[in-house]
Structure 1
Amino acid sequence: MKRNKPKYKQIIDAAVIVIAENGYHQAQVSKIAKQAGVADGTIYLYFKNKEDILISMFREKMGLFIEKTEEVIAGKSSSSEKLLVMIENHFSILCDDHHLATVTQLELRQSNKEIRLKINDVLKKYLKLVDMILYEGIDRGEFDPSLDVRLTRQMIFGTIDEIVTTWVMNDHKYELAALAKPIHQIILRGCQAHQ
């Protein structure tokens, strides 16, 4: 599998930096190759074109996001706790990688419909984790049984996403991770089963 080839990860990581610093449209394949320390032609052994690099990069990074999220929620017993660590994890991954935050929040929002559809496809796996937490919370009586899971998931992801975008637009001037608990509290109020 190509993702296990050593240069694949090198190119993906270089693409994150180049796209974050130059914007997707100005990020020529030659710049990515230079950043990765490989010949231009080497890129085409792994990727069809720049669009393929962008989608592969998102798939790769989202895969790590999902793995890390599954890891952190595995040790938690309540759905409420799982939701909190999921939000914390989302923020901490992007706090640790400002280039990746810029790419996910700004550069992935392409007007190209084909790119959008492929990105949404990758995102589905992450959103399924949110659904899982919500269904589990309903089953355990933690969350309101009349909760519209699809709508709630969109609100949770939309909130997290918008908070990160605002943080990126403000040049990471404040501590993103510090917002996890208050956001969690607000979401929880809307989800909890009413006694």
Structure 2
Amino acid sequence: MKQSKPKYKQIIDAAVEVIAENGYHSSQVSKIAKRAGVADGTIYLYFKNKEDILVSLFQEKMGQFIEKIQGETTARQTPSEKLYILIETHFDLLSKDYHLAVVTQLELRQSNKDLRLKINSVLKKYLDVIDGIVEEGIREEVFRENINRKLVRQMIFGTIDEVVTNWVMKEQHYDINKQAEDVHELIIEGLLKKK
């Protein structure tokens, strides 16, 4: 498997930095190779082309991201706590890796349809975590039963995603982690069963 090859991670990490700094379209494979400290030809031992690098870096980084979020949410008791930790972990992970935040929030959005489909298949695992939290909340009769589950998922992911995009666009001039509580409160108020 190519992920276990020694230079794979080096190339992925270099690609995140180069694409964040130069934009996807201005990031030549040679720049990525130079940043990774490998010969240009070495890149092609691991990746078919620049698009393959972008998809692979998203799969790799998002895979780690999802694992972390799954681990953190599983360790919580209530659906509300799980939702809070999902928001907090999402903000925390991207605030610690500004280059990755730029790539996920800006560069991946400018991609072609085929690329978006590949990215969406990776993203589905993250959306499954959100669905699981919502379903648990409904089962435990904490969240309203009569909610449009697909719309709720879009609203949760869309809200978290937009807050991060705004933070990236404002060049991180504020602490995004401080917004986790407000975002959680706004979302949870719409989900809670009224007494």
- TM interval, short-chain normalised: over 0.9
User: What is the percentage of aligned positions where both structures have the same residue?
Assistant: 62
Matches within 5 A, 1:151-190: 151-190=151-190
Task: Work out the CA distance in 1 between the residues paired with 2:171 and 2:131.
Answer: 31
Structure 1 residues 19-28 or 107-116, which shifts more? 107-116
The superposition leaves residues 32-80 of structure 1 with CA deviations (integer Å, 9 ceiling, x where unpaired) of 0000000000000000000000000000011011100011011111000
Matches within 5 A, 1:9-48: 9-48=9-48
Aligned AA for 1:82? K
Runs of 5+ consecutive residues of structure 1 not aligned to the other structure: none
Task: Work out the CA distance in 2 between the residues paired with 1:117 and 1:70.
Answer: 23
Structure 1 residues 106-115 or 20-29, which shifts more? 106-115
Task: Work out the CA distance in 2 between the residues paired with 1:101 and 1:23.
Answer: 13
* TM-score normalised by L of structure 2: 0.99
RMSD between aligned residues = 0.6
Runs of 4+ residues over 2 Å off in structure 1: none
Matches within 5 A, 1:1-195: 1-195=1-195
Aligned AA for 2:60? E
Task: Work out the CA distance in 2 between the residues paired with 1:111 and 1:89.
Answer: 26
Between the two proteins, the alignment pairs up a number of residues equal to: 195
The superposition leaves residues 137-186 of structure 1 with CA deviations (integer Å, 9 ceiling, x where unpaired) of 10011100111111000000000000000000000000000000000000
Aligned AA for 1:120? N
Aligned AA for 1:141? E
Runs of 5+ consecutive residues of structure 2 not aligned to the other structure: none
Task: Work out the CA distance in 1 between the residues paired with 2:68 and 2:111.
Answer: 29
Structure 1 residues 145-154 or 22-31, which shifts more? 145-154
